[in-house]
Amino acid sequence: MNSKIIKNAGWLFSGQAIGRALRAVLIIFAARTLGTSDWGVFSYALSLAAAFTVFSDIGINALLVREGSRNADLRSKYLSTGLVIKLALLSALGLFAFLAKDFIVRIPEAIYLIPLIIIIFTLDSLRDFVSALARSFERMDIEAKGQVITNIGIVGFGLLFLAINPNSTSLAIGYAIGTFIGLLAVFLPLRSYFRGIIKGFSKKLIKEIIFSAWPFGLISLMGVIVVNTDVIVLGSVGSASDVGLYTSAQKPVQLLYLIPSLLAASFFPTLSREAWEKSKFRRTLEQGLKSVYFFAAPLAVGGALTAKPLVQLLYGSEFIPAFESFAFLSLTFLFVFPSIFFTNALFAQNSQKSFYGYLFVGIVLNVILDLILIPRFGIAGCAIATLVVQQALFIYGALKLGKILPFSIFPKVGRICVATFLMAGIVLYLLSLSVHVLIVIAIGMLVYILSLLAFGEPIFEAIYMALRKKPGITSGVEM
């Protein structure tokens, strides 16, 4: 495995792990403080912000990374023109959200949060754009530090304002301030690249950027819709309390979805450069897929098995009804993790047209299943719908990518599967003895790691050798 990929992944993981651990503290504290209803109001509003953030991107960030990593001479043109497009989209979306808030927001209490939500998605979108520039340089350290600072700001100000006035508006203000601090954190180290940025603007490039980027943007949009449609539908047919319960199960899962996103981001510049060298591309892709299953398998099985005691530990007895949703959502790791690599690989191969099918399957199937399952099964129906949709997307992505470049997954993850089964057996046994869930998780992780070491799993040696090498030198150890 290439040492630069390992180091970039290390930066992203460290930044996200620290940052998200801090934000998890805020989520748990806020849910306990606000209760299911007020927490549901905030979560519903934040889901709307996430949707608007993706609409403001339309794949521009990914295109900047792809083209910037391939051709440094064109980087400034893509940066300048992409920024103009993004600012125009943000202005239009912000105005639309403000004017249409009475029509698009179905939970009345959330309407008053819309101005703050507009600020949050604007700042978040700009921070993501600047982070994409850092990725094009493969300077994931800038993005990682920015993530940590962002989450420190969100958590610090979120806790402060909740302590002063415990309501959803206070939490939204904390989010907005923290996001602004995060934007500054990634912008300042790269500010020199924005000097004279207007000179790089190209009217001719606008059309090329939009047509090249928007299919990838549709995939990002689809991902947000799959995750947030459940919340929006629940807000329309259920109560704020239902939304609060479901999002309490959903938030930890969403945090863990960052693992494949970070790995894919680390692999993406290399995949883009190797797009026309099929053997190298396939090898890098298979290494990436194996790396995500290293995390996905134990997280999926462990999360499903420990769902009830873990939810109770995190949120308290009031949130216990959310454990079934948490169990079903945990199983989505098996499909979401590799699917993110499929879409990145297709984009690196310039096969964006494949994303139209992704969009159709993801959005249409998710809406249909939500409408069928939510009235019958409540919040558990949301999670079941998401699980089925993610399975369908996994199959679709694997078939599309396989037509372009045959690859394999399962022969390379045999040891991971066996270690996961051993871990599951130990977890079930400890749970039957009523052992505290944190001890169960710790022992389960230990069994999983030791099993892989006993089986001689080469992924550990690959990581170790890559970290020892200087950047740009491959380790020579195959995964």
pLDDT in tens, 41-76: 887 777 766 666 666 666 777 777 766 666 666 677
The Cα 103–Cα 96 span in angstroms is 11
The Cα 331–Cα 384 span in angstroms is 10
Percent of the chain's residues with pLDDT above 90: 19
Mean pLDDT score of the chain, rounded to an integer? 79
pLDDT at 337 over 80: yes
- With tokens 């694997």, the residue in question is 398
Token representation of residue 108: 């009345």
- With tokens 């609409």, the residue in question is 55
User: Residue 140 to residues 34, 356, 386: CA-CA distances in angstroms?
Assistant: 35, 30, 31
User: Residue 439 to residues 166, 286, 310, 319: CA-CA distances in angstroms?
Assistant: 32, 33, 11, 21
The pLDDT assigned to 441 comes to 95
The pLDDT assigned to 479 comes to 43
Percent of the chain's residues with pLDDT above 70: 79
The band of 442, judged by pLDDT with boundaries at 50, 70 and 90, is very high
The Cα 97–Cα 94 span in angstroms is 5
Query: What ranges do the domains of the chain cover?
Result: 3-412
Which spans in 405-436 are helix H? 414-432
The Cα 8–Cα 270 span in angstroms is 11
The band of 297, judged by pLDDT with boundaries at 50, 70 and 90, is very high
Find the range with the poorest average confidence among 85-94, 153-162, 267-276: 267-276
Q: Which residues of 344-372 are buried (b: 16+ CB within 10 A; e: fewer)?
A: bbbbbbebbebbeebeebbbebbbebbee
The pLDDT assigned to 69 comes to 64
Instruction: Pick the most confident of 15-29, 196-210, 279-293, 455-469.
Output: 279-293
Q: Which residues of 3-42 are buried (b: 16+ CB within 10 A; e: fewer)?
A: bbbbbbbbbbbbbbbbbbebbbebbbbbbebbbbbbbbbb
pLDDT at 440 over 50: yes
- State mean pLDDT over 123-140: 79
3-state SS, residue 433: coil
The Cα 160–Cα 174 span in angstroms is 8
Specify the higher pLDDT residue, 33 or 212: 33
The pLDDT assigned to 60 comes to 75
pLDDT at 117 over 50: yes
Helices (H) and strands (E) in the chain, counts: 19, 0
The pLDDT assigned to 323 comes to 93
User: Residue 267 to residues 263, 297, 327: CA-CA distances in angstroms?
Assistant: 6, 20, 29
Angle at 340 between CA 367 and CA 466, to 5 degrees: 165
- State mean pLDDT over 252-261: 81
The band of 474, judged by pLDDT with boundaries at 50, 70 and 90, is very low
Find the range with the poorest average confidence among 102-116, 135-149, 223-237, 343-357: 223-237
The pLDDT assigned to 298 comes to 95
The pLDDT assigned to 478 comes to 39
Reduced to 3 DSSP states, what percent helix, strand and coil does the chain have, rounded to the nearest 5? Answer: 85, 0, 10
